[in-house]
Homo-oligomer: A and B are copies of this chain.
Amino acid sequence: MLIVMRQNAPKEEVDAVVAAVRAQNCEPKPIPGGNRTAICVLGNRGSVDPSLFEFLPGVIRCISVTKPYKLVSREIHPENTVVEVNGVSFGQDNTDIPLIAGPCAVESWQQMKAVGQALKARGIRIMRGGAFKPRTSPYAFQGLGDRGLELLERVRDQFGLAIVTEAIDHVNYDRVEAVADIVQIGARNMQNYSLLRRAGRGGKPVLLKRGMAATVDEWLMAAEYILSEGNPNVILCERGVRTFSDHTRNTLDLSAVAVVKKMSHLPVIVDPSHAAGKWEFVIPLSLAARGVGADGLLVEVHLDPAKALSDGAQSLTLKNFDKLLNLLNI
């Protein structure tokens, strides 16, 4: 950390800061400049809290120099982490980009069976489907809950598909974990640290969506929670952030993929469906995601979007899904 003093700060102010740094068992290193002094803070393990110094007389700013994450950092762990699920590898240089597909919500066995068959026929090996749905309105369809998990279990067994589904609290994590091959933590829960710790103690890979207003640093810190509890298998998922931009539901931030690939060894995939909010933009955004180097795609597919119980507008029909596979040369 660097502590910047005001111009011509008197010696007493500088000395007081130096003492405060020492009190934190860190080594202060004052650097006198032309008209102002800055004080480097050395020897800290992890990051030092700037708030410890910002209020001291004469201090103008405290600037963090090192990133606050460790286990997820590529600086410390240079090789890619590869998460393998049902023969699909996330984080490897693949010829084909891995696809996870399926409906927003589990609705019925009839639906699950039909979509499971369709995915299997197309060589898709991982299926998504929500049993517990976090919804903005308490009056909206909240998912089939445990009944939905049973249907996912059945589709998994019948078609040999791996399953991704979301856990929303401690109470249902055990049950979700028993069924899912990958447990999803949704954007709204990205900073639900209690849930992240639970995921870290679990044995299943975790799909961690980026929060709607999370910086890349905060997103990686959320992954750090999971790794710090012992679970190394985290797949990050960019799904759009909230901005003033109103032509899509969220603003898909594809640069985040390139930045995460640089900062971290974890695989990072893209969910164009939730970002766009409209099916017609899912195909171009999927191609863009492949272009930027994403380690996979998470795409909503529904056999009859008009009858979907949630998010029909962003779901691809099978026909459009085939068009996407074709454009991806899969």
Contacts and interface: CB of A to CB of B under 8 A. Distances in A.
Contact of A188 (B191, B197, B257, B280): B191
Contacts of A280: 258, 262
Interface stretch (A106-114, A118-126, A201-209, A288-296): A288-296
State how many copies of this chain the complex holds.
4
Interface string A185-208: 000110111110100000000000
B51 A314 contact: yes
A255 B228 contact: no
A54 B281 CA distance: 13
A271 interface: no
A65 interface: yes
Given A75-B6, A138-B221, A215 B244 contact: yes
A157 B119 CA distance: 58
A56 interface: yes
Interface residues of A, number: 101
Given A241-B243, A313-B50, A306 B55 contact: yes
B192 A65 contact: no
Nearest to A260: B247
A109 B204 CA distance: 41
Given A169-B169, A213-B242, A247-B255, 7 more contacts: A2-B2, A2-B63, A51-B310, A168-B194, A169-B194, A287-B292, A288-B292
Interchain residue pairs A-B with the least CB separation, the first 7: A51-B313, A213-B213, A291-B291, A287-B291, A288-B292, A188-B191, A169-B194
21 contacts: A34-B42, A47-B139, A49-B312, A50-B313, A52-B308, A55-B313, A68-B136, A134-B193, A136-B221, A137-B221, A139-B228, A168-B192, A169-B169, A189-B192, A213-B213, A217-B247, A247-B256, A255-B281, A288-B288, A290-B291, A291-B291
